[in-house]
Amino acid sequence: MPEANRTIIDARVTKEPKRTTELIGFALSDCVVEIDAEAAKYLRVVHRTALELAVQNQFGIEIGGFWLMQEQVQQLRRLPEYYPAGEAEFVRRAVEAYLQAQLH
């Protein structure tokens, strides 16, 4: 076997497969949100919006819960677009803090 072919074969054999983890969704649960006081007043509307966007029993009644899938997370992240410019940043921070707390 020529040297060049052996190198290509060796590279294919020793190359590790790519491993990727992709978030599909998560169930909403009670959580503690760490956030500044200015953005905290928007948490109630963020939570209510998340509940409205969530899919109940996404994976069947045995698992239950209200699930936010990637599409609903993207929609929730668009919530600041519906607020005046002076409030949009606070809403954005509230959304991100809420999502962060839900995932931990």
> With a cut of 70, which residues of the chain have pLDDT below it?
1-17, 21, 23
In angstroms, the CA 21 to CA 64 distance is 23
In a domain, 5, yes or no: no
In a domain, 4, yes or no: no
| Global pTM value | 0.76
Domain count, the chain: 1
Q: Which domain holds residue 64?
A: 21-103
In a domain, 92, yes or no: yes
pLDDT of residue 13: 53
pLDDT of residue 61: 84
- H or E element, residue 95: helix 85-103
In a domain, 31, yes or no: yes
- Do the Cβ atoms of 97 and 38 come closer than 8 Å? no
User: 33: left (phi > 0), else alpha (psi -120 to 50), else beta?
Assistant: beta
In a domain, 60, yes or no: yes
